[in-house]
Amino acid sequence: DEVLRVALASDAFFVGMLGSRRHAPEAVRRLRDGGVPEAHIARLHSPCGLDIGSRSAEEIALSIVAEVVAVERGREGGSLGADWSSPVHG
């Protein structure tokens, strides 16, 4: 929890936490109980990674890197085929 507190208080553009959807709410509760501001908690990506159906460690890593890039670029990380009105890679 302390690592998350420090990361969320930093100027890092992405703070992600691995874990199941079952464990994430408990971690968030502990952060709230520990006095972490809601604005900081709102920055937490958990579980981190895009939903690409990852099963292996390599696929999980790929999904996390993809989410980091999407956040950095201000994108959602959805399918490229979903919107024909905007540039594909821009």
| Boundaries of every domain in the chain | 2-76
In the CATH hierarchy, which fold is given to the domain comprising 2-76? Rossmann fold (3.40.50)
- Identify the DSSP state of 32: H
The Cα–Cα gap between 42 and 38 comes to 6
Partners of residue 22 on adjacent β-strands: none
What band does 22 get if pLDDT is binned at 50, 70 and 90?
confident
pTM, full prediction:
0.81
pLDDT at 82 over 80: no
